[in-house]
Amino acid sequence: MPRLNPAPEFDVATWLNTPQPITLASLAGKVVLIEAFQMLCPGCVEHGLPQAARVRAAFPTSEVAVIGLHTVFEHHEAQGTVAALKAFLHEYRIGFPVGIDQPSVHGAAPRTMTAYQMQGTPTLILIDRLGRLRAQHFGHVTDLRLGAEIQALIGETVPAPATAPATTTLDAVCTQEGCTVPSL
Amino acid sequence: MPRLNPAPEFDVATWLNTPQPITLASLAGKVVLIEAFQMLCPGCVEHGLPQAARVRAAFPTSEVAVIGLHTVFEHHEAQGTVAALKAFLHEYRIGFPVGIDQPSVHGAAPRTMTAYQMQGTPTLILIDRLGRLRAQHFGHVTDLRLGAEIQALIGETVPAPATAPATTTLDAVCTQEGCTVPSL
Amino acid sequence: MPRLNPAPEFDVATWLNTPQPITLASLAGKVVLIEAFQMLCPGCVEHGLPQAARVRAAFPTSEVAVIGLHTVFEHHEAQGTVAALKAFLHEYRIGFPVGIDQPSVHGAAPRTMTAYQMQGTPTLILIDRLGRLRAQHFGHVTDLRLGAEIQALIGETVPAPATAPATTTLDAVCTQEGCTVPSL
Amino acid sequence: MPRLNPAPEFDVATWLNTPQPITLASLAGKVVLIEAFQMLCPGCVEHGLPQAARVRAAFPTSEVAVIGLHTVFEHHEAQGTVAALKAFLHEYRIGFPVGIDQPSVHGAAPRTMTAYQMQGTPTLILIDRLGRLRAQHFGHVTDLRLGAEIQALIGETVPAPATAPATTTLDAVCTQEGCTVPSL
């Protein structure tokens, strides 16, 4: 009896740093790390994005895909344009693919962010080779812990045992480094 | 025979974090530190602005005035609006006054930046109690050195000796942390 | 046909931070991390030992054993006494078991260090649940990489496949942070 | 009416990194920074000694003399020999002169340390060009603040005004990074 849920598919308005749009479906077979961020979120700039870049450098791209997700839920005027994000990615030398999360109507959190019930930014998500949501960290996670979590997913045979326990973790505490979605 | 030049006056389009516009003239009698930055310049975000905030905390405001200057010379679409800078200052908790350098025509560097012949961002400028330009650092300067330079200016009696040598330093080398004005 | 070699047993003169001597044999079933260090080696104090402490905090002790090994190969007069090491462990709040590597005659590297053919300090060694040497890093290894290596060993079923390839890595390059055994 | 006290003279058993013993008297005319430390004090190794080295690199030796003082008040067996300190200075590449504070009888704090009424290590002491004690910091002091304090002393004319107020500061709070003399 399967207990792990499939990760929600990307709902992205624009993709950068990639020749074509990316779907989770197309990444099946790989471990996927999603770094959800906002370009004006200090905790994302200082910790989340550099960590995602380290993951990309430490693991072979044939095993682990690192995807950025720009989940703008505040300061839309400053962060909400493609040009602003492009400038940011250029200046911070972020080379992995980044999707701009599809804005919602009425100023709510954008759509992919909402589908994952993210609490804010930075949020780091891990998806296994079978496309199932396995971990979701809001705020800081240490490199030591993250390296272990990624390796555990790399080591899973495909198909993974259907009875494996759900290990999704939703950190309840918001640190000073992160930005909390006001409505959650 | 005086050899120190008066620092060029601010040419600012909009002031933030201050109830009214600021002029160098109005700061006469104080040592002035100008931190010229761009919100999407990594060296400014990581080093320059935190250092300016440390100076503001370490010295009495009656002796040293810390002023930010947003000198946008690239990525105008992303950095060029008041709203974008406001969001940035809010998220990074920058509390000192910040002026938006007056844009030039034809996409050249903005006006105050040009008047000081700045090479890029971050640039840290020190002005003495008599309004004279005394130091200009492009890129990184250590806290130890900066503390000494500020104290040297604090310690000057007013009027300072007219024969004091010009000590303006223009660092020629551009580090990876800084953004160089292309046309210089 | 087995290709992985059993890790050499500890040859230790004195154990600290443990009520009784430790053997690799007694740790069978666990992943073992050995942090070989010298108390006057800056790279050990700054990087190696804090990393070992982080590993101890991040993984359950039922799965991973962290053992320090004081491998004095220089400055014997300063580092060679039990009292000196005790003072060091106390001041740096190192709580995991530490063995003092058995000195060799004629000033050569101590015995366990020699058995592992270590090149200097810090050296980080990983041993699998079956007591086999699986990785040996001289100098710096990132937390991300180390977390992954430890998790890979945690995930191995016992008995592990006998045909698994040997993955012992002997970093050839000595960084400035490490101390190289002169005779190697 | 003079209010500043002359700094107590060094009472040192052995000098290292200098061809001949050093006296405060011989340093008259210079600003003197004394970094009192113990080789097994983590706060000294991490913060105090690197800061002293930065001061030595940032200011001309004709203006500022940086002197280390090994004030062993605990772990005498581990820290108390010349050989141990020599090994430490070699490994940590400390090139400025270091005096071994003269031990007291009965295990009290050593003599220079006692003369200055130091509370523990690291302690940073500043002495002006006229040999007067001007600042004494137990624990951490920021580079920005220290740079300013040194520059203020550099800027003093000799003879300094006899009516200048005493500015010796004795930080009462002991941080986790420092080692407090038990008897104080």
What value of ipTM does the predicted structure carry?
0.84
**Phi-psi bin for B139: left (phi > 0), alpha (psi -120 to 50), beta?**
left
Q: How far apart are the first and last CA of chain B?
A: 31
Interface of A with B (CB under 8 A): 40-42, 45-46, 74-75, 77-79, 81, 83-88, 90-92, 179
Specify the pLDDT at position C121.
98
- What tens digit of pLDDT does each residue of B67-124 get? 999 999 999 989 989 999 999 999 999 999 999 999 998 778 999 999 999 999 999 9
What is the pLDDT at residue B171? Answer: 33
Residue A182: the pLDDT is 55
Q: Which two tokens stand for residue A80?
A: 């909400």
Is the pLDDT score of A167 beyond 60? no
Give the phi and the psi of residue C65 in degrees, each rounded to 5: -105, 130
Closest residue of chain B to D154, computed from CA coordinates? B152
Mean pLDDT over A119-135 rounds to: 98
Distance between CA B31 and CA B63 in Å, rounded? 6
**Is residue D3 assigned to a domain?**
no
> Which of the residue ranges D17-21, D78-82, D96-100 would you say has the lowest mean pLDDT?
D78-82
Smallest Cα distance from A100 to chain C, Å: 27
Cα B116 from Cα B133, distance rounded (Å): 9
**Taking CB atoms and an 8 Å cutoff, what residues of chain A touch C148?**
58-59, 147-148, 150-151, 154
Are A52 and A33 contacting, i.e. CB atoms less than 8 angstroms apart?
yes
CA distance A136 to D113: 53
The answer to whether A65 and A33 have CB atoms below 8 angstroms apart is yes
Please report which residue ranges of A1-110 form alpha helices under DSSP H: 42-43, 49-58, 76-79, 82-91
Q: At what angle do helices D143-154 and B49-58 cross, to 10 degrees?
A: 60
Report which DSSP code applies to A95: -
**A120 is a domain residue:** yes
| Alpha carbon of residue A184 to chain centroid | 18
Task: Render chain C in DSSP notation, one character per residue.
Answer: ---PPBPPPP-EEEEESSSS---TGGGTTSEEEEEEE-TT-HHIIIIIHHHHHHHHHHS-TTTEEEEEEE---S-HHHH-SHHHHHHHHHHTT--S-EEEEPPPGGGPPPHHHHHTT--EESEEEEE-TTSBEEEEEES---HHHHHHHHHHHHT--SSPPTTPPP---B--PPPTTSEE-TT-
Of A72-86, C73-87, D147-161, the poorest mean pLDDT is in D147-161
Residue C161: partners with Cβ closer than 8 Å, 6 or more residues away: none
User: What span, in angstroms and rounded, lies between the C-alpha atoms of A184 and D176?
Assistant: 38
D135: domain CATH number is 3.40.30.10
pLDDT top residue among B77 and D164: B77
- The answer to whether residue B125 scores a pLDDT higher than 50 is yes
Q: For A27, which DSSP code?
A: G
Find, in chain A, the residue whose alpha carbon is nearest to that of C143: A144
* Beta strand extents in chain A (DSSP E only): 12-16, 31-37, 64-70, 98-101, 120-121, 123-127, 133-138, 179-180
Is the preceding omega at residue B159 within 30 degrees of 0, hence cis? yes
Mean pLDDT of all residues in D35-43 = 97
Can you tell me the mean pLDDT for A106-120? 93
Chain D partners of C86 at a C-beta cutoff of 8 Å?
78
Q: Express each pLDDT in A55-72 by its tens digit.
A: 999 999 999 999 999 999
Spatial distance between the Cα atoms of D155 and D150, rounded to a whole number of angstroms: 9
What is the rounded distance in angstroms from the CA atom of residue D95 to the CA atom of residue D137? Answer: 22
Quick check: is B53 in a domain? Answer: yes
Assign B36 to helix, strand or coil: strand
One-letter amino acid of C94: I
Give me the residues paired with residue C100 across strands.
Answer: C14, C70
Nearest to A22 by CA among A77, A85, A96, A86: A96
- Kindly report the nearest CA distance between residue C115 and chain D, in angstroms: 25
Which residue, among C45, C91, C177, C180, would best test binding to D if mutated, counting the most D CBs under 10 Å from its CB? C91
Q: Which residues of chain C have pLDDT under 50?
A: 1, 160-177, 183-184
B6 found inside a domain: no
- Which residues does chain A have within 8 Å of residue C146's beta carbon, measured at their own beta carbons? 144, 147
**Mean pLDDT across chain D:** 88
Helices (H), D100-164: 111-115, 143-154
Q: Would A26 be classed as within a structural domain?
A: yes
Asked if the model's pLDDT at residue B170 lies above 50, the reply is no
List all chains that touch chain A, counting a touch as 3 or more CB pairs closer than 8 Å. B, C
In percent, how much of chain B has pLDDT > 70?
85
Among the residue ranges A106-115, C77-86, D157-166, the one predicted with the least confidence is D157-166
In a domain, A65, yes or no: yes
Tens of pLDDT, residue by residue over C11-24, are: 999 999 999 999 99
Residue C109 lies in a domain: yes
Query: What residues of chain C lie within 8 A of the CB of D79, using their CB?
Result: 87
Question: Residue D152: closest CA among chain B residues belongs to which residue?
Answer: B151
Residue C86: CA atoms inside 13 Å, Cβ hemisphere, count?
Answer: 12
Strands, E assignment, chain B: 12-16, 31-37, 64-70, 98-101, 120-121, 123-127, 133-138, 179-180
Give the separation between CA D79 and CA C88, rounded to whole angstroms: 10
pLDDT band for position A108 (cuts 50, 70, 90): confident
Chain D positions with Cβ closer than 8 Å to B:
54-55, 58-59, 142-152, 154-155
Residue-wise pLDDT tens digits, D73-86 = 999 999 989 999 99
How far away is chain C from the Cα of D100, in angstroms, using its nearest Cα? 15
Contact across the interface for B91 and A75, Cβ inside 8 Å: yes
Residue B177, CA distances (Å) to A91, A95, B108, B140, B172 in order = 10, 18, 22, 8, 14
- pTM of the full structure: 0.86
Are the C-beta atoms of residues C35 and C137 closer than 8 Å to each other? no
Integer-rounded Cα Rg, in Å, for chain A is 15
Residue A150 domain-assigned?
yes
CA dihedral D64, D65, D66, D71 (to 10 degrees): -130
Give the span between the Cα atoms of D129 and D147, in whole angstroms: 16
- Residue among C40, C85, C87 whose CB faces D87 most closely: C40
In terms of pLDDT, which residue wins out, A29 or B106?
A29
Tokens of C133: 């040497």
Q: Does residue D89 contact residue D3 with C-beta atoms inside 8 Å?
A: no
What is the token pair recorded at B1? Answer: 């025979």
Residue A98 pairs with which residues in a beta bridge? A16, A68
**D68, D38 Cβ separation under 8 angstroms:** no
Count the domains in chain A.
Answer: 1
**Does B160 score more than 50 pLDDT?**
no
Is the backbone peptide bond immediately before B122 cis, with ω within 30 degrees of 0? Answer: yes
Q: Which range of residues forms the domain containing residue A92?
A: 12-180
Residues from chain B contacting residue D148 (CB–CB below 8 Å) = 58-59, 147-148, 150-151, 154
Query: Is there a contact between A58 and C152 if contact means CB atoms under 8 Å apart?
Result: no
Query: What subunits make at least 3 CB pairs under 8 angstroms with D?
Result: B, C
- Secondary structure (DSSP) of A127-141: E-TTSBEEEEEES--
Q: How many CA atoms are closer than 13 Å to the CA of B154, on its beta-carbon side?
A: 24
Q: How many Cβ contacts (< 8 angstroms) between chains C and D?
A: 51
